Chains A and B, each alone.
Chain A
């Protein structure tokens, strides 16, 4: 298929349109993904999450620069929230990365959540496949960053980086939001600010409470100071890049990469089955008016939802 070839050749126009088609659920996009799928699985997917104002975008921008110095190609997906009132969105994370706009080794794409919960867009999974097939060595995904339950990233990334800053009271916020459990690496950003020591100690304490870590990987805590203090920030950036690589290597060495990929595979399969099996049934029930009739039966207490579900399942699953 021509489009597959174009994606694999890294044709930017094709890739960006394909991601758009995925987002807009244009039917042809699914077929393209089918063709692309065998060519995926090579990229190292890194997720960035954390509290608002933590400096995720700026950090990713610097990481991209560092990866480029190491001669790696990078795809970046930036997720921003869709306004629930208007359906519109301002996708502004890109601003921080515009210096890479002319670098053919970097592809940056902004995605709106379009109502999806969990800090990502529904299209993210397939968009990662596309950038992977495009041949990017690394695919970096930035979650919305509202400090809410942004744990969805764990299903897509090999390495999850959680970015925190001192003095915002995020410590507790983050624990509540369950973000800490998904971290493979912590970054304390703006660590020259007051409260950085306290945040570090709290994280250390929390980690000490854990019984064991999968693969023996205890999430390291990296302190990144003021990014304009070039020397010290450069060092932190090196450390972050090396640690991200080390984490991936650990997954490989401990044969855990499969587990990570399995999680994504299960999720995708689940989603695909949902789309393939349940969606048509539901559509038919609505269109034939059966849904309404069944609801009326419930209102009259003639039956219960479970009995009805069993009946529907019995009918369709036999087919």
Chain B
């Protein structure tokens, strides 16, 4: 790119000389190991030089912040105008428990909220369903009805703080609760902001929080996109997620490719099903990536993601609004990189991963707590995790300048390579007829299963090192304080639910569910009906049962 032929000739000669010296040196003293590759087994060279990025075009491929292809970030001011949002994922026990934790986090300097729901809520079951036995409040907060939700957001300034909700199949129901709660507090829908994860494709691929078959699942998502576009303009109605794909064992390239292809599938569906123009909703799409332990691979992945998305939006979908070209994303450090052994080491892992996310230009970040391999994080562990972000932002100086790694031979070469490999996957999935078709065929699932098994074998054979697991192992156990969730919560929550069912207007509740069912059958947008239903105190499961009845229930076909 910026290299003249003469310069490249010169550097090639210099490189040759260096290579010869390497050969001699290695003959005398062998390398520590044979394989030097990323955690995803992407081979890495000993050195990168101008030759490795000679075909890179500055104008087309790199550019400046706020300019196509946004490799260097969407924001022209970088982190100087505003740090990323410190957004810690939290939720446990009852709505009251989580509300308290939220107030504590806001007081500690957190700038956005992020909700973890318990498994019955995530799967669209009420606490008293037989399938929900033993799960209440264990992995997040238990929400059955709007009554719970109002407790959850008690005292939270919903017009000032943005809230992210990790919720997928029942996303319409929980978002409806958020909207209804705002209304009750007298805050107009145009003032509330936040995100619902609402990304079902990655559930079929990776996380298996399943309810309805793929096609109606995507339809419900398109409903929320349409509703948000028209009525809740500050809301991100989908967070297209690679996090879970990675946690399920994918490589970095697979995470990148499958996540972006998922995003394209949603764009295509909204255009086709709702007849919206890409720029009517494009600016509200957001993404969610994993930041794993391989430092440069993660930075390259995030940079490549911005560039691929900008190209796809501009060239594939003919978007003309540059806000649609921006890939805005939240990042979470990799839960699967943490170890149960020597848990305090996890602080270092998380800090490294968080730093990668910041250098990759994330807009929002969750840092995992050191004890998450064991259970939900304790207050003590959450605080260290939040402080990790604050140290990076305020002390390390990495926020001084934008995209500081740009122009690095290695980082640019790796970014290019990951982008290329991602496009290969994307085109392969195009050829299969899109992501829904590829999922139906089990393609991404099998790719993940293979990668996960391979990685586990690499760890077992010490080809990949995990400190404290297969190297530097100690017998001594480090005790850490753990958060315990009281098993008795379940009974308490069931009592509350029964109380709500007793006191609500049964007729109105039933009518709103019937209306919702009709809307589903007529392919109307479900959101207004959902809001009505939650206001009439219909439960999450009652709403989801309507979906299951009309759209069918999907069970995991489990590829292995």
In A60-97, the 8 Å CB interface with B consists of 90, 92, 95-96
Residue interface mask B534-551, A partner, CB < 8 A = 1: 000000000000000001
Residue ID in chain A nearest B441 by CB atoms = A53
Determine the main DSSP class of B at the interface with A: loop
Which of B216, B441, B442, B558 is the one whose CB lies under 8 Å from A228? B216
Q: Is B560 an interface residue (CB 8 A)?
A: yes
Chain B residues closer than 8 Å to A230, beta-carbon distance: 552
Q: Which 7 A-B pairs have the closest CB atoms?
A: A228-B213, A228-B552, A95-B558, A230-B552, A90-B560, A92-B560, A92-B558
Check: B492 CB closer than 8 A to any chain A CB: no
- Expressed in whole angstroms, the Cα–Cα distance for A96 and B557 within the complex equals 6
Using Cβ atoms and an 8 Å threshold, which residues of chain A touch B556? Answer: 95
> Which residue from chain A places its CB closest to the CB of B215 in the assembled complex?
A228
Q: Mark B206-220, 1 if CB is under 8 A from A, else 0.
A: 000000010110000
In the assembled complex, B277 has its CB within 8 A of some CB on chain A: no
List the A side residues contacting B216 at CB < 8 Å: 228
Q: How far is the CA of A98 from the CA of B560 in the complex (A)?
A: 17
Interface size class of A (residues with CB under 8 A): 10 to 19
Is the beta-carbon distance between A99 and B555 smaller than 8 angstroms? yes
Q: Using C-beta atoms within 8 Å of the partner chain, give the interface range for chain B.
A: 10 to 19
Contacts of A228 in B (CB 8 A): 213, 215-216, 551-552, 554
Tell me which residues across on chain B come within 8 A of A53, comparing CB atoms. Answer: 441-442
Q: Chain B residues with Cβ under 8 A from A227's Cβ?
A: 552
Q: Min CB distance, B120 to chain A, in Å?
A: 19
Tell me the bound Cα distance from A90 to B560 in angstroms: 9
Known: A96-B557, A228-B213, A228-B551. 5 other contacts (CB 8 A): A92-B558, A95-B557, A228-B216, A228-B552, A230-B552
Q: Which residues of A contact B551 (CB under 8 A)?
A: 228
The docked-state distance in angstroms from the alpha carbon of A65 to that of B15 is: 69
B483 to chain A, nearest CB (A): 33
List of B residues within 8 angstroms of A92 by Cβ: 558, 560
> A99's closest neighbor in chain B, by CB?
B555
How distant is the Cα of A92 from the Cα of B558 in the complex, in angstroms?
A: 8
Cα separation A199 to B460 with both chains bound (whole Å) = 47
CA distance A4 to B555 in the complex (A): 37
A226-237 near B? 1/0 per residue, CB < 8 Å: 011010000000
Look across to chain A and name the residue whose beta carbon is closest to the beta carbon of B559. Answer: A92
Identify which of residues 88-119 in chain A touch chain B, using a CB-to-CB cut-off of 8 Å: 90, 92, 95-96, 98-99
B442 contacts across to A, CB distance below 8 A = 53
B residues adjacent to A (C-beta < 8 A): 213, 215-216, 441-442, 551-552, 554-558, 560
Residues on the A chain within 8 Å of B552, using CB: 227-228, 230
Number of A-B contacts (CB under 8 A): 21
A-B contact pairs, 21 of them (CB 8 A): A53-B441, A53-B442, A58-B557, A90-B560, A92-B558, A92-B560, A95-B556, A95-B557, A95-B558, A96-B555, A96-B557, A98-B555, A99-B555, A227-B552, A228-B213, A228-B215, A228-B216, A228-B551, A228-B552, A228-B554, A230-B552
- Within the complex, the shortest CB–CB distance from A108 to chain B, in Å, comes to 15
Cα distance, A53 to B556, chains bound together (Å): 15
Given the complex, which residues of A lie within 8 Å of B560, measured CB to CB?
Answer: 90, 92
Residue of B nearest to A57 (CB): B557
CB distance from B152 to the nearest CB of A (A): 33
> Chain B residue with minimal CB distance to A90?
B560
A228 and B557 alpha carbons, distance in the complex (Å): 14
A 13-31 to B, binary, CB cutoff 8 A, 1 in contact else 0: 0000000000000000000
In the complex formed, the residue of A with least CB distance to B552 is A228
Please name the residue on chain A nearest to B554 by beta carbon.
A228
A91 nearest CB across to chain B (Å): 11
Chain A residues with Cβ below 8 Å from B555 are 96, 98-99
- In the bound complex, residues from chain B placing their C-beta under 8 Å from that of A58 are 557
User: Shortest distance in angstroms between B430's beta carbon and chain A's nearest beta carbon?
Assistant: 15
Q: How far is the CB of A279 from chain B (nearest CB, A)?
A: 37
Bound together, the chains give a CA A90 to CA B453 distance in angstroms of 14
Q: Give CA–CA (A153, B436) in the complex, Å.
A: 34
User: How far is A92 from B557 in the complex, measured between Cα atoms in Å?
Assistant: 9
Shortest Cβ gap from A235 to chain B (Å): 15
**Complex CA distance for A183 and B556, rounded to whole angstroms:** 30
Instruction: Give the residue name and chain of the A residue nearest to B556 (CB).
Output: A95
Q: Complex: how many Å from CA A98 to CA B131?
A: 14
- Chain B minimum-CB-distance residue to A58: B557
Q: Which residue of A lies closest to B437 (CB)?
A: A193
Which residues from B are CB-within-8-Å of A99?
Answer: 555
State A83–B7 Cα separation when bound (angstroms).
56
Name A186-205 residues within 8 Å CB distance of B.
none
CA distance A266 to B462 in the complex (A): 55
A 117-146 binary contact with B (CB < 8 Å = 1; else 0): 000000000000000000000000000000
CA distance A99 to B556 in the complex (A): 12
List chain A residues, Cβ under 8 A from B554.
Answer: 228
How distant is A53 from chain B, measured CB to nearest CB, in Å? 7
| Residue of A90, A98, A228 ringed by the most chain B CB atoms within 10 A | A228
Measured between beta carbons, the chain A residues less than 8 angstroms from B441 are: 53
Rounded to whole angstroms, the CA-CA distance of A13 and B442 in the bound complex is 35
Q: Which residue of A lies closest to B549 (CB)?
A: A230
Q: How far is the CA of A95 from the CA of B560 in the complex (A)?
A: 11
Closest B-chain residue to A230, C-beta based?
B552
Complex CA distance for A53 and B557, rounded to whole angstroms: 11
Distance of A58 Cα from B557 Cα, bound (Å): 9
CB distance from B435 to the nearest CB of A (A): 16
Cα A193 to Cα B496 in complex, Å, equals: 48
Q: How far is the CA of A13 from the CA of B213 in the complex (A)?
A: 35
B442 to chain A: closest residue by CB? A53
How many Å lie between the Cα of A230 and that of B216 in the bound state?
13
- CB-nearest residue of chain B relative to A190? B440
Cβ of A31 to closest chain B Cβ, rounded Å: 38
Q: Which of B215, B441, B552, B554 has the most CB atoms of chain A within a 10 A radius of its CB?
A: B552
The smallest beta-carbon distance between B449 and chain A, in angstroms, is 11
Q: How far is the CA of A96 from the CA of B556 in the complex (A)?
A: 8
Complex alpha-carbon distance, A88 and B442, angstroms = 23
Report the bound CA distance from A227 to B213 in whole Å. 10
Taken together as a complex, chains A and B put the C-alpha atoms of A230 and B551 apart, in Å, by 8
Q: Kindly provide the distance from the CB of B450 to the nearest chain A CB, expressed in whole angstroms.
A: 14
**CB-CB < 8 A to A98: which residues of B?**
555
A227 to B554, CA, bound (A): 10
Smallest CB–CB gap between A105 and chain B, Å?
Answer: 20
For residue B466, give the distance in angstroms from its CB to the closest CB of chain A.
26
B549 to chain A, nearest CB (A): 10
Query: Chain A contacts of B558 at CB under 8 A?
Result: 92, 95
Distance (whole angstroms) from the CB of A228 to the closest CB of chain B: 4
- Chain A, residues 209-228, CB within 8 Å of chain B (1/0): the string is 00000000000000000011
CA distance A213 to B557 in the complex (A): 37
Q: Which residue of the partner chain B has the closest CB to A61?
A: B555
Q: Which of chain A's residues has its CB closest to B558's CB?
A: A95
Q: Which residues of A contact B215 (CB under 8 A)?
A: 228
B residues in contact with A90, CB < 8 Å? 560
The answer for the CA separation of A227 and B553 in the assembled complex, in Å, is 11
Complex interface: chain B residues within 8 A of A95 (CB): 556-558
Q: Separation in Å of the A59 CB from the closest CB of chain B? A: 13
Question: CA separation between A128 and B353, bound complex, in Å?
Answer: 56
Quote the shortest CB–CB distance from A200 to chain B (angstroms): 20
- Nearest residue (CB) in B for A168 is B441
A95–B442 CA distance with the chains assembled, in angstroms = 15
| B212 nearest in chain A by CB position | A228
Bound together, the chains give a CA A248 to CA B213 distance in angstroms of 34
Kindly state the separation between the CA atoms of A207 and B417 in the bound complex, as whole angstroms.
52
Cα separation A251 to B557 with both chains bound (whole Å): 35
Chain B min CB distance to A144 (Å): 16
Q: Smallest distance from the beta carbon of A251 to chain B beta carbons, Å?
A: 34
A230 vs B441: C-alpha distance when bound (angstroms): 21
Residue of B nearest to A229 (CB): B552
Q: CB-CB contacts of A169-198 with B at 8 A, as 1s and 0s?
A: 000000000000000000000000000000
